[in-house]
Structure 1
Amino acid sequence: MPRSRSKPDGISIPSTVKRSPAKARRTYAKAKRSAEQTYGSGERAARTAMAALKRGFEKVGDHWEPKDHKGPSDEHARRRSRRADGRSAGGVDVLGHTRDELYARARKLGVRGASRMNKLQLGKAIAAHQ
C-alpha cells in the first residue's frame, strides 16, 4: 500500500511541513519516529522533530525551505538548553542571513519599523508576519 504524504507510517505532520519539499517531510517524519521511540508520543517528540527540521530548513512564508548551510538558526537553538535565554526567531535563520537580507524580507512582508530593528528583532518580526 502506498504511503500517504501527510502521514508516512502514521506520523502526523504539521501543515507547514506538508507544504514543504519531500526532504523536509522525510526529515520531520524520521526524527519524530525516533523521538517517539525514545520519549513516547506527545509534545516532546513533536518538539524534538521540529528542532531536527530547523537544523537544515528555514521557515519561509507557509512552508520550509532548505538552508544554504545546516546548523542552528538562532542563539536559542545554538545553546541546546531548555533554559536558554529565549532569544528564538521562530524558525527564521538569523545566523545564516545578513541583516540586509532579513531587512529585505521584512520589507517585502510589510513589517513596520524594520529599519530600526537588529537581526534578532527582524527574525522575530518575519516569523510573526508569515
Structure 2
Amino acid sequence: MPARRDMPSTVERSSDKAQRTWSKTHDSAVETYGEGERAHRTAFSALKHSFEKVGDHWEAKEQKGPSDDQAARSTPEAGKTAGGVDANASKRHLYEIARRLDVPGRSTMSKEELVDAIDKANQRETRAARE
C-alpha cells in the first residue's frame, strides 16, 4: 500500500484511527488522481476534518468539521492554512492547547495569535521529533 510507505512522521506518531483515516483517504486519492502531491493534500484534508495537530502528532478533535477557512471552501484557493491547528475551535480550547505546548504569553493573546503561536509550536515540536 502506498500510504504506509508515504505516511508523514506526524501521522505515524498519532493514533491508529488517525493513521487509518490518512491511509484510506490517501490510497483512494492515489487511485483517483495518481501518486503525488494531490493525494497527500486530499489525505491531510480528511485528517484535518476529524483531527488537529498538537505538537508532533494528531489528536481527535472535540467536534468534526473544517479546521480553518481554507478547509471550509468546497474548492480551496491558494493561500495560508492553519497548518493543522483547529482555528475554528473556541479560544478556551486554543488556550489549553497553547498551555500544553508551553507557549509563552498565551494568556494575553487573541484567538488569531493563539492559532499562529500553536502552529509555530507544532512546527518546533515536529522538527525536534524528526531529529
TM-score of the alignment, normalized to the shorter chain, above 0.5: yes
The one-letter amino acid of 1:31's match is T
- 8 Å contact from structure 2 (residues 70, 77) kept in 1: no
Q: Does residue 62 of structure 2 align to residue 68 of structure 1?
A: yes
- The DSSP-based 3-state class of the residue aligned with 1:104 is helix
Instruction: Tell me which stretches of 4 or more aligned residues in structure 1 moved more than 6 Å.
Output: none
- The DSSP-based 3-state class of the residue aligned with 2:59 is strand
Q: Which runs of 5+ in 1 are unaligned?
A: 1-8
Structure 1 distance, partners of 2:22, 2:43, is 5
Q: 1:119 aligns with which of 107, 111, 118?
A: 111
The one-letter amino acid of 2:43's match is A
Q: 1:90 aligns with which of 76, 83, 93?
A: 83
Query: TM-score, normalised on structure 2?
Result: 0.80
Alignment of 1:1-130 (within 5 A): 9-11=1-3, 12-83=6-77, 86=80, 88-95=81-88, 97-130=89-122
Query: TM-score, normalised on structure 1?
Result: 0.80
- 8 Å contact from structure 1 (residues 24, 64) kept in 2: yes
RMSD, aligned α-carbons: 1.9
- The DSSP-based 3-state class of the residue aligned with 1:31 is helix
- 8 Å contact from structure 1 (residues 89, 120) kept in 2: no
How many correspondences in the alignment?
Answer: 120
Structure that is richer in helix per residue:
2
- 8 Å contact from structure 1 (residues 90, 123) kept in 2: no
Tell which structure's C-alpha radius of gyration is larger: 1
The percent identity for this pair of structures is: 52
> How far 1:109 moved relative to its partner?
2.9
Q: Which has the higher contact order (CA 8 A, sep 6+)?
A: 2
